[in-house]
């Protein structure tokens, strides 16, 4: 079942209306998990950081030993071609994807150069301005590079995120604040995370256990240009419990204020509101 509606699929050189089939049963990506994707957004007639997302899916493919077959520039061109099927006031999730078609001896290693490629466009609304989230802890952690392909946005990583999220939901919360293998906060189950204390902004330092997101980087840049102090730091659960504001950062919804972490309540404060304002001012400015 698709996440969104009004789907357009690019596959084998042309756009197709609807959620068409692109993987076969014997494709390496279907049975051995060699698939990567990225996600950009189209909203209010703009697609912020689209080329950065297209470039990252190529880096993700290389991390899984899959040969990228489409340049970021060509991918951007294809996406805009597909977006012609949508009105300016439609919010669309943009998902370019690669997967391996064949394996080498013993099948497990992907055959370099045997690559499947697709772009899926789905109409998915942006979150309403008053949307918030409540966080809890989880017993599951982010892996390290020696354990998994944490340097890629790979489909095979998401079952771990899913069980984090499922555990949080079973406890009555929306999402989980997740640590790395050392016990320091890395991100949430679905997005990067920021906290605010005494007017200064903090986010977990990128240490190779999680993707330091494109939208995360954009928020850091916007805040610093605006005059805010932003720290990329080693952070613990106790740091978040003593925060004044907490917000999640991800491409899907851009900024999601957090109102609670395991009984610790937060206001949807001025910095969180300013981050959202700065992001859309930048996105709509065409810079």
3-state secondary structure 54-75: HHHHHHHHHHCCCCCCCCHHHH
Count up the domains in the chain and report the number.
Answer: 2
Tell me: do 191 and 71 sit in the same domain.
no
Tell me: do 223 and 137 sit in the same domain.
yes
Instruction: Give residue 287's pLDDT.
Output: 58
Find the CATH number of the domain harbouring 65. Answer: 3.30.470.10
CA distance 197 to 82: 43
Q: Which residue has the tokens 């080498």?
A: 104
Find the CATH number of the domain harbouring 265. Answer: 3.20.10.10
Instruction: Give residue 105's pLDDT.
Output: 84
In-domain check, residue 26: yes
Cα 180 off chain centre by = 17
Provide the token pair at 262.
Answer: 């395991």
In-domain check, residue 199: yes
Tell me: do 102 and 146 sit in the same domain.
no
The series of mean pLDDT values per 10 residues for the chain, 287 residues long, is: 88 97 96 97 97 98 98 98 96 98 94 97 93 98 95 97 98 98 97 98 96 97 98 98 97 95 96 97 87
Q: Can you give the residue range of the structural domain that contains 178?
A: 133-285
Tell me: do 113 and 148 sit in the same domain.
no
Strand-pairing partners, residue 203, are 232
Q: Which residue has the tokens 């391996």?
A: 100
Stated pTM of the model: 0.95
For residue 122, what are the contacts with CB-CB under 8 A and spacing of at least 6? 2, 3, 4, 5, 6, 7, 92, 93, 95
Instruction: Give residue 1's pLDDT.
Output: 58
Residue 93, H or E segment: strand 92-100
CA distance 105 to 122: 37
Closest by alpha carbon to 250, among 174, 199, 188? 188
Tell me: do 107 and 183 sit in the same domain.
no
């Amino acid at each position: 079942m698709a996440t969104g509606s009004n789907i357009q699929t690019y596959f084998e050189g042309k756009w197709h209306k609807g959620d068409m089939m692109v993987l076969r049963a014997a494709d390496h990506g279907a049975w051995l998990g060699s698939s990567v994707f990225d996600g950009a957004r189209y909203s209010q007639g703009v697609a912020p950081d689209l080329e950065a997302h297209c470039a990252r899916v190529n880096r993700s493919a290389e991390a899984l030993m899959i040969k990228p077959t489409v340049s970021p520039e060509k991918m951007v061109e294809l996406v805009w071609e597909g977006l012609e099927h949508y009105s300016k006031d439609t919010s669309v999730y943009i998902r370019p994807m690669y997967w391996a078609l064949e394996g080498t001896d013993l099948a497990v290693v992907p055959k370099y150069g045997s690559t499947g490629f697709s772009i899926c466009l789905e109409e998915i609304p942006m979150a309403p301005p008053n949307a918030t989230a409540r966080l809890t802890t989880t017993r599951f952690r982010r892996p390290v590079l020696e354990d998994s392909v944490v340097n890629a946005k790979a489909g095979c990583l998401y079952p771990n995120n899913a069980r984090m999220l499922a555990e949080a939901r079973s406890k009555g919360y929306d999402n989980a604040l997740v640590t790395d293998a050392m016990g320091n906060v890395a991100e949430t189950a679905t997005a990067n995370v920021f906290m605010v204390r005494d007017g200064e902004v903090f986010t977990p330092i990128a240490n190779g256990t999680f993707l330091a997101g494109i939208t995360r980087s954009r928020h850091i840049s916007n805040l610093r240009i605006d005059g805010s102090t932003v720290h990329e730091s080693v952070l613990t659960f106790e740091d978040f419990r003593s925060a004044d504001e907490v917000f999640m950062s991800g491409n899907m919804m851009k900024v999601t204020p957090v109102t609670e972490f395991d009984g610790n309540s937060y206001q949807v404060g001025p910095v969180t509101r300013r981050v959202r304002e700065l992001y859309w001012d930048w996105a709509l400015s065409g810079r």
